[in-house]
Amino acid sequence: MRGQIEFSLDAGSGVPVYRQIIKHIENAVLSGRVKAGDQLPTIRALATELKLNPNTIAKAYNELEIRGVVLTQAGSGTFISGKCPEFNEGEHSKKVFETVERFLREMNELGFDRCAVVDLLEKQPGNEN
């Protein structure tokens, strides 16, 4: 896997595919799996790999560029930006916190309090994430 970005898309989730792509790339940056200067897959390559229309990928890359996460050089490719103000340690922590809170809220809805969740996590078998 080595630095590769994993794109696990869920077409039926209601979340637009292009936003899922944005999220995966941002997460990869936030967790340090990709670094400033790294090249993203080309639009066409990723479109083929994910069986999507190139425009969908382009839309994701474009929004990332507007946000300052990536830099685009027409003719050569799309690269992780070095000077993105958003992607510092604080952002990472914040995203982790939000993810945990959302999860706990959902589990709570399903009848698990924090303790029960921890218990469950220590036992539930699963893919070895």
Partner DNA sequence: GTGGTCTAGACCACA
Partner DNA sequence: GTGGTCTAGACCACT
> Binding residues for its own copies, how many (CB under 8 A)?
46
Is 37 one of the binding residues for DNA (CB under 7 A)? no
Site map for its own copies, 66-105, x if CB under 8 A?
A: xx------------------------x--xxx-xxx-xxx
d(CA 70, CA 65): 5
Question: 111: Cβ–Cβ under 8 A, 6 or more apart, which residues?
Answer: none
User: Pick from DNA, its own copies, none: which does 105 bind, CB < 5 to 8 A by kind?
Assistant: its own copies
**4, 32, 45, 88: which one binds its own copies (CB under 8 A):** 32
List the Cα angle 18/20/21 in 5-degree steps.
65
Rounded Cα distance between 107 and 6, Å, is 25
For its own copies, the closer of residues 19 and 35 by Cβ is 19
